[in-house]
Amino acid sequence: MADVILDIQNAVKRFGGLTAVNRVSTAIRRGEIRALIGPNGSGKTTLLNVISGIYAPEEGAILFEGAPIQGLFPYGVAWRGISRTFQNIRLFGNLSVIKNVMIGAHIQGKAGILQAILFPKHTREEEQKLRNKAESCLGFVGLEIDTAVKAASLSYGQRRLLEVARALASDPRLILLDETAAGLNPQEKRHLIDIIRKIRDKGITVLFVEHDMGVVMSVSDRITVLNFGSKIAEGTPDEIKTNQLVLEAYLGKENYAEVE
């Protein structure tokens, strides 16, 4: 049997009367690249939010490596080995590039606040480790820039890569990417595809939300399709391309031509 890393079972998340995620189930295998697609408002980000602990699902279960994680706080989910990026980039604009990534690495660091007060020497060593880790993650995503500059000074594409580097810095076993290709130019998109593959080759499972069908079709092992909060299809890129329900969901939408 294939090793399932993330098992989502009948997850439900409602906002008032709206069911944003409606009994969604899917099993993601360790080592796969899984795309999550669907029209705007179909519940993709909400599902990532439920996985990463921003929301607890009202119903259903989410098992990570066999253990339930639904209802854990985001820090708890991250500590278990899941990290993510955000659709709306969340960086500390006034902090340097390296500090932004060190924040991601920090979850792996042993130094807590108490240690920082009691054993300042120890935490300096710890900080150096975090810095080294952050530098290696920035190199991994190909961000070769002055890491002392403020994150706010970076281009849009560089900020997206910075977020990916930060997500990698905690050594996750599963990474969730929310529309990382949005706003990137074609060359940056090709670079992102390479990075997604490199992340998988490192042994990290990838679940990514994406609108660009070129990116989705070229990099995914399997694709899960949401529409109005419900899963309407799941399969390989070839299966999804010809799926009637998927074509109908996109009918009249901007992405229809790309799905064809």
**Closest distance of CB 201 from ligand ADP, Å:** 27
* First-to-last C-alpha distance (Å) of the chain: 33
**Among 5, 38, 85, 234, contact with ligand ADP (rule: CB under 6 A):** 38
**Closest distance of CB 20 from ligand ADP, Å:** 3
Calculate Rg over the CA atoms of the chain.
19
Q: How far apart are CA 200 and CA 118, in angstroms?
A: 39
Decide if residue 52 touches Mg ion (CB under 5 A).
no
Decide if residue 100 touches Mg ion (CB under 5 A).
no
Decide if residue 83 touches Mg ion (CB under 5 A).
no
222 token code pair: 């399997």
Q: How far apart are CA 31 and CA 252, in angstroms?
A: 34
**Closest distance of CB 199 from ligand ADP, Å:** 21
Helices (H), 86-185: 97-106, 113-118, 120-140, 156-168
**Closest distance of CB 179 from ligand ADP, Å:** 8
Q: How far is CA 4 from CA 51, 157, 196, 206, in A?
A: 15, 32, 19, 13
Residues 40-99 that bind ligand ADP (CB under 6 A): 40-46
x/- mask, ligand ADP, residues 4-33, rule CB under 6 A, reads -----------x--x-x-------------
